[in-house]
Amino acid sequence: MEHTRDPFRWHAASIGVVAALVGFSSSFAVVIAGLRAVGADADQAASGLVALSLAQGIGIIAMSLRYRMPVTLAWSTPGAAMLAASAALQGGWSAAVGAFLVSSVLIVVTGLWGALGRAIARIPPAIAQAMLAGVLVPLCLAPVTAAIATPLVVAPVILVWLVLQRLAPRWSAPAAFAVALGIVAVDAALSGGLSVLAWPALSLTAPSLDLAAVVGIALPLYLVTMASQNVPGAAVMSGLGYAVPWRPAMLVTGALSAVSAPFGGHAVNLAAITAALPASAEAHPDPARRWIASVSAGASYLVLGLGATTVTAVVALAPAGVIESVAGLALLGTLAASLAAAMREECDRIPAALTLVVAASGVTVAGVGAAFWALVAGLVAFAVLRWGRATGAARVPVHATPASST
């Protein structure tokens, strides 16, 4: 059998475990916050986390083995942040699940219909990144407000995050979450509120179609997932020498998203930042053998999914604002990258600024949330200010700067 004496295979496997741990621990608090914001109760949010972990683990293993390349998937962290900034839906949690399904179908259609993918790639990067930055602003303010409300709990979290930003940036968000989790667990144990470990459980919800949820949740979720995860994820892999099979990737992630949606999963997509670790020389000196790292990452996600219910139960015991603070700290890098990309070109700054402030406002009009109206306002301003002017070189579809934490 070939490569039976590969001396690097265990190292590659360990890199995959690290990639999964970083991806999960650095952003799952954002996922929980997003699901709770659109109507999920604690059990439904836990179910969504389990479903997403299992779906992306299965997808990573299947695609890595099929194409013998380190294809890494993730949940949509920008999409979860957009959900966390959304207002409560009139149709409740079932309407949110319906919106997740619509977004999943659109991703599948993107794989089947190349014109749709090209149309998404033509959305001005400044507008896409400004919309993402706008929905992140309220979340990134959480550490500030929580530090005032509960300083003894939040200050150690911020301090650990800041120190590790200097020493080991990749581990800053996971370490901050570990500190927060430890504080919550100790407090709950002292008060007698910490229960035994919970078995992973999936909670099925029948979806319902609600026009406001489709326009205000499904469309922004689809756009932000494509612009801030799938396109940059493919770009990261290309930069490392791998051509991601675009159509199969969209079909697989869209199908996995659709399967996980009734259990509370909002979106599965190509990984961006965490994709770089299994696909780099750090995983294996032979590019043809780096798929070992991604398969290991997929298996790790399956294991992490089994513990997602317990983690969610502990998170539910946290004082108000603590978990949101961890999410806000984890997303500060994404916010900075989005702002830099949105304001890079001087001629795009006014439309981008308008998009940002509308998204950050949190307004709801006709039951539709701010992310959609921010996109509309930004595109209108972009069109008006560019009317009759030369657009210069063809726009490159790199929304690009990998702006996601996963």
Q: What is the mean pLDDT of residues 236-259?
A: 89
Identity of the residue numbered 319: P
What pLDDT, in 10s, does the model give residues 137-180? 887 888 888 888 888 878 888 999 999 889 888 778 778 878 88
CB neighbours (10 Å) of residue 203? 18
| DSSP at 277 | T
What is d(CA 219, CA 223) in angstroms, rounded to the nearest whole number?
Answer: 6
Percent of the chain topping pLDDT 90: 31
What is d(CA 314, CA 195) in angstroms, rounded to the nearest whole number?
Answer: 9
All structural domains of the chain with their residue ranges: 11-386
pLDDT category of residue 301 using cuts at 50, 70 and 90: very high
CB neighbours (10 Å) of residue 310? 16
C-alpha dist (Å) from residue 170 to 166, 174, 233, 400 = 10, 8, 18, 20
Percent of the chain topping pLDDT 70: 88
What is d(CA 85, CA 138) in angstroms, rounded to the nearest whole number?
Answer: 7
Straight-line distance from the first to the last Cα atom of the chain, in angstroms, rounded to the nearest whole number: 35
pLDDT category of residue 278 using cuts at 50, 70 and 90: confident
What pLDDT, in 10s, does the model give residues 281-298? 877 888 899 999 999 999
Q: What is the pLDDT of residue 130?
A: 86
